[in-house]
Amino acid sequence: MSYVGIIITFVFINNFILTQFLGLCPFIGVSKNVESAVGMGFAVTFVTSLASLVTWMIQHFILVPLGLEFLQTISFILVIAALVQLVEMVIQKISPPLYKALGIYLPLITTNCAVLGIALIAVRSNYDPLESFVAGLAAGLGFLLAIFLMSNIREKLDGEWIPGPFRGVPIAFITAGLMALGFMAFDRALLNNLLG
């Protein structure tokens, strides 16, 4: 599949949150205001792009040659945890303002399903290293798009009257459900029409 195809697939057609439900907890938890939602979105994008590239290397340079594919889950999650830690330290050293913006979200990303999810999906789809990287980037951008839209809607909802039991998490879920309904407009046919 072409790189454009991969991007359209992971941003719109298989949007990680709205069709696959990966990374739903931060999506509900950190979408109360736009600023922190965007920070979280960029932090996730950064980590998914790197993680899908690094886990591709682990899979093809270490696990497959040594016949250790059954260690995939353990090695991927450890590599992701280490990577997140490393990214945190590097950003802190190189760019303190960026660290200030993303810092608090980085430790939370280790347990974000989206990161391990894209690593596993990229390996299962037999992507080459560059395709894996693009898939990771696109999955992160899809997350960013969804959480950005969601946080804008939730900021607007703050000024509205909502029946008691629906306040907070339930209305967030229902909003996400309606957004998912909108994203159903993007399907395989879109890809075929665009790329032939």
Q: Which residues bind another protein (CB under 8 A)?
A: 18-26, 28-30, 70-74, 76-78, 81, 108-113, 116-117, 120-121, 124, 164-174, 176-181, 183-184
In the bound complex, what is the minimum distance in angstroms from residue 182's beta carbon to another protein? Answer: 8
Q: Minimal distance in Å, beta carbon 82 to another protein?
A: 8
Smallest separation, CB 183 to another protein (Å):
8
CB of 196 to another protein, least distance (A): 27
Nearer to another protein, 87 or 116 (CB): 116
Q: Which is nearer to another protein, 23 or 96 (CB)?
A: 23
Which CB sits closer to another protein, 96 or 167?
167
CA–CA distance, 192 with 131 (Å, rounded to integer): 19
